[in-house]
Amino acid sequence: MSAGPDRLHAIVPAGGAGTRLWPLSRRARPKFLLDLTGSGRSLLQGTVDRLAPVSDSITVVTGRVHASAVADQLGTDARIVPEPGPKDSMAAIGLAAAIIARDHGSDAVVGSFAADHLIGDRPAFERAVATAVAAARRDDVTLVTIGLTPTHPATGFGYIAVGAPLDPGEGTTSDRPAGPAAGVDDPPEAPPAARPVAHRADGFQEKPDAETATAYLAGGRHLWNAGMFVARAGALLDALRTEHPDLHDGLQAIATAWGSAEEGAILAATWPHLTAIAIDHALAEPLAARGRVAVVPADLRWTDIGDADSLATVLESGADAGPDAIPDAGAGTHAGAGGPEDGPAGAGVVAEPHTVVVGDGSPGAFVHAPGRVVALHGVPGVVVVDTGDALLVTTREMAQGVGRVVTQLRDAGLGDLT
Amino acid sequence: MSAGPDRLHAIVPAGGAGTRLWPLSRRARPKFLLDLTGSGRSLLQGTVDRLAPVSDSITVVTGRVHASAVADQLGTDARIVPEPGPKDSMAAIGLAAAIIARDHGSDAVVGSFAADHLIGDRPAFERAVATAVAAARRDDVTLVTIGLTPTHPATGFGYIAVGAPLDPGEGTTSDRPAGPAAGVDDPPEAPPAARPVAHRADGFQEKPDAETATAYLAGGRHLWNAGMFVARAGALLDALRTEHPDLHDGLQAIATAWGSAEEGAILAATWPHLTAIAIDHALAEPLAARGRVAVVPADLRWTDIGDADSLATVLESGADAGPDAIPDAGAGTHAGAGGPEDGPAGAGVVAEPHTVVVGDGSPGAFVHAPGRVVALHGVPGVVVVDTGDALLVTTREMAQGVGRVVTQLRDAGLGDLT
């Protein structure tokens, strides 16, 4: 990887089990390690694949318990920073940023991206990153976030209020032709897509209620916060020193010792005492209040595959979902396709390809039960996930509440299954 | 068994796979061979247990393919008559009646009872049989049926129209004290329950539409036809000779040779040509039209366990369902009961005792998945049946249509699973 003006040093915090996707996801087999879409690549691998063209380096911060699995999946594609224990996103991103600043200088631009999201429109993502990197180099900006055009009044995401466009000047790119990273996959006859324009972020809102979310969508001034933050490493660490000096100092101490003989001792002495806080609260909100945050609006065909409904929607969208959403589009992702034994699948049933589904009256159903014969009768929108050791039956409408099942299993002494 | 005035020779036609109970029931493992209620006795064994106190002999007529399984379950409790192939109920009952007439004389009273029904109130059943046997001995009656008090406007059963009470006289029992078979299980302080009064049957109606069924229930003059027919063997065979002489003659020829060296040859030459017809159409309807049928109204807490909804209702009713419905009543039949690993079962979930069910928001759900951990979330009334080789998901409301799934499986080349 060679440094370039539009490129960054990517940070991928890989944590969180994804309990709403139980029983597919487990503590020991978190969402980011899974190949949920049957692409042959896990969500983490897809994230690294997507970041490679825009990155000078990729650093994955993950729990020690997952470090070897992550290394198995990524090989030499990324540096792995194992955390002794979960300390939320600020510690993970801050440690990686401090290591990057040590190795590449404080002017290196870093960007954090979740390990378990899907992005259907990669060229649009690359254009958004280029705009974000340029904005992060401006003197009047400390932190840049990429905000996603909302497609429905979601109550499960935070929102970003969009302000005025940044003044043209260094770092604004709206009047420049698309760079080489943009439009790579566009048909030759189409004009190159323009990079998006960075705006001032007026603020961050926590997950809203349904009424507020509907108003956000109608107003057109709010974007989803998907945790994509871009900044110069030095600016990010300076801001952290201001907001959370203890956390800053601890992370700097660890970063200084990283890779040396003292690493273990410093980690053991420091990590347990670090403040556990999300970067949204630690930096984004206070910096936005001081007018130091920019937001890059982007329409990326993004999803976090938060639950089985979301996964089913991705699988349903098939060929339209983009390169890292559905590599094997079409009939192959649908019920019963793939062999002479296939039964008359219910119309609109989405199933894992190695599942045979018969029955009818169950449009919109989602079945993941590899190697099994599953009969659905009159259960539209049902979700059936069979992992051998556990069987979940819910509906797509209710799937977002499956995390409660995980809690119940643990309360019932069945935590081994979670 | 010793002959008695209230006793009969019981005939149990054991056929039909019960496709609506798939995947619990299969062609090779039909409903009557299953212990659906966890009583330790199959439905067939329960039927024989229930008939023993009122019978001088019990003859089970079943397909050749099931004869050894039936023999394994019943031992010496019943004579088994294997049919070379299915010829509907008239041939099965007629052959057994002809064999009984040959062995016990034409005045022997026979009664046919399905192999796969449940009866919750055994004393009431015994009183109804006593009345039916007495009615069958009357000169003005050829055929007696026991009609069940309907509890809801079912469209899945035929109905019997009830006429005037039979004239008192030989065979009417309303003015007699209860016999020894009645009130056996009643508390000592309760007065002995009276035997029911036989009425003339004005006719038989096929399965009605919902409007007609509602009118039947409101009118109070219609009873469910559960296929319980009682008659003197000679009278039944005489009527068959009148209505279907070829069928009568074929069955008589077979019965004469039954157990002799000629049995096989006669069966092979005769059975394939017999008319396949139900006793309802062959005898009950034409005899009712001539005023020769009596009906004994009875409230037996009866069910045919037609589908998973019906099975769930039986299991829910627990202790109230009577001796051959739920032997192990109460918590043991409910989700998660039985061990320290049990999770917080959803309120009102009925599950096979060896299934652990967690989750919530699923009242009225029915789960049969022995040895599995099943999580339900927000699926009230769902039906989940896992037999290892197949997994069915439907709802209690839709369960009566599961026979269509069986058809689809066969059409899809998956008939081995049916």
Torsional class of A395: left (φ above 0), alpha (ψ -120 to 50), beta (otherwise): beta
Look at A171 and A81; give whichever has higher pLDDT. Answer: A81
B152 CB neighbour count, 10 Å cutoff = 8
Q: What is the pLDDT of residue B38?
A: 87
Under an 8 A CB cutoff, do B408 and A359 touch? yes
Residue with tokens 């894992």: A352
Helices A43-51 + A64-74 axis angle, to 10: 60
Give how far A353 is from chain B: nearest CA, Å. 16
Under an 8 A CB cutoff, do B340 and A413 touch? yes
| Chain B CA closest to residue A367 | B393
Q: Which of B369, B373, B414 sits opposite A343 (nearest CB)?
A: B414
Q: What is the pLDDT along chain B (418 residues), one digit of tens a residue?
A: 445 678 999 999 998 878 999 999 999 999 999 999 889 999 999 999 999 999 999 999 999 999 999 999 999 999 999 999 999 999 999 999 999 999 999 999 999 999 999 999 999 999 999 999 999 999 999 999 999 999 999 999 999 999 999 987 654 444 444 444 444 454 556 667 889 999 999 999 999 999 999 999 999 999 999 999 999 999 999 999 999 999 999 999 999 999 999 999 999 999 999 999 999 999 999 999 999 999 999 999 999 999 999 999 999 886 334 444 333 323 333 444 333 333 445 457 888 888 999 988 899 999 999 999 999 999 999 999 999 999 999 999 999 999 999 999 999 999 999 9
Contacts with B340 from chain A: Cβ below 8 Å? 413
Q: What is the pLDDT of residue B205?
A: 95
The two three-digit tokens of residue B381, written as one number: 């009334």
Look up the ipTM and state it. 0.83
Under an 8 A CB cutoff, do A377 and B401 touch? yes
pTM assigned to the model = 0.84
Which among B325, B296, B303, B323 has a CA at the least distance from the CA of B194? B296
Q: Choose the mutation target among B379, B393, B400, B411 for the interface with A, i.e. most A CBs under 10 Å.
A: B393
Contacts with A399 from chain B: Cβ below 8 Å? 377
> How many Cβ pairs within 8 Å bridge chains A and B?
151
Q: Which of B373, B393, B409 sits opposite A379 (nearest CB)?
A: B393
Task: Determine the Cα–Cα distance for residues A236 and A61; give it in Å rounded to an integer.
Answer: 17
**For residue range A374-415, what is the model confidence (pLDDT) as tens digits?**
999 999 999 999 999 999 999 999 999 999 999 999 999 999
Q: What is the pLDDT of residue A358?
A: 92
Q: Which of A340, A376, A414 sits opposite B343 (nearest CB)?
A: A414
Q: Choose the mutation target among A360, A391, A418 for the interface with B, i.e. most B CBs under 10 Å.
A: A391
Own/partner pairs, A179-184, CB within 8 angstroms, 24+ separation: A179/A6, A179/A127, A179/A130, A181/A6, A181/A53, A181/A54, A181/A123, A181/A126, A181/A127, A181/A129, A181/A130, A182/A123, A182/A126, A182/A127, A182/A130, A183/A123, A183/A127, A184/A123, A184/A126
Q: Choose the mutation target among A393, A400, A416, A418 for the interface with B, i.e. most B CBs under 10 Å.
A: A393
The two three-digit tokens of residue A235, written as one number: 């600016």
- For residue B78, give the DSSP letter: S
Strands B382-386 and A143-148: unpaired
Under an 8 A CB cutoff, do A369 and B391 touch? yes
The average pLDDT across A160-181 equals 65
| Chain B CA closest to residue A386 | B374
Under an 8 A CB cutoff, do B412 and A343 touch? yes
The average pLDDT across A324-339 equals 36
Under an 8 A CB cutoff, do A358 and B412 touch? yes
A23, A389 Cβ separation under 8 angstroms: yes
Q: What is the pLDDT of residue A193?
A: 82
**For residue range A231-261, what is the model confidence (pLDDT) as tens digits?**
999 999 999 999 999 999 999 999 999 999 9
Using pLDDT thresholds of 50, 70 and 90, give the confidence band for residue A347.
Answer: low
Computed over its alpha carbons, how large is the radius of gyration of chain A? 22
Q: Choose the mutation target among A309, A341, A358 for the interface with B, i.e. most B CBs under 10 Å.
A: A358
Q: What is the pLDDT of residue A6?
A: 84
| Chain A CA closest to residue B394 | A377
The average pLDDT across A279-308 equals 96
Q: What is the pLDDT of residue B358?
A: 92
Task: Determine the Cα–Cα distance for residues B239 and B110; give it in Å rounded to an integer.
Answer: 14
The two three-digit tokens of residue A238, written as one number: 């300076």
Q: How far is CA A395 from CA A37, A377, B94, in A?
A: 19, 14, 51
Q: What is the pLDDT of residue A169?
A: 63
**Range with top average pLDDT, A160-174, A309-323, B20-34:** B20-34
Q: What is the pLDDT of residue A342?
A: 39
Task: Determine the Cα–Cα distance for residues B314 and B38; give it in Å rounded to an integer.
Answer: 11
Q: Can you count the helices (H) and strands (E) in chain A?
A: 12, 17
Chain B residues with CB within 8 Å of chain A CB: 22-23, 340-344, 356, 358-361, 369, 372-379, 382, 384, 386, 389-395, 397-399, 401-402, 404-405, 408-409, 411-414, 417
Give how far B225 is from chain A: nearest CA, Å. 28
Q: Which of A378, A392, A397 sits opposite B375 (nearest CB)?
A: A392
Q: Choose the mutation target among B391, B396, B400, B416 for the interface with A, i.e. most A CBs under 10 Å.
A: B391
- For residue B197, give the DSSP letter: P
Task: Determine the Cα–Cα distance for residues B81 and B62; give it in Å rounded to an integer.
Answer: 6
Contacts with A402 from chain B: Cβ below 8 Å? 375, 377
Q: What is the pLDDT of residue A179?
A: 43
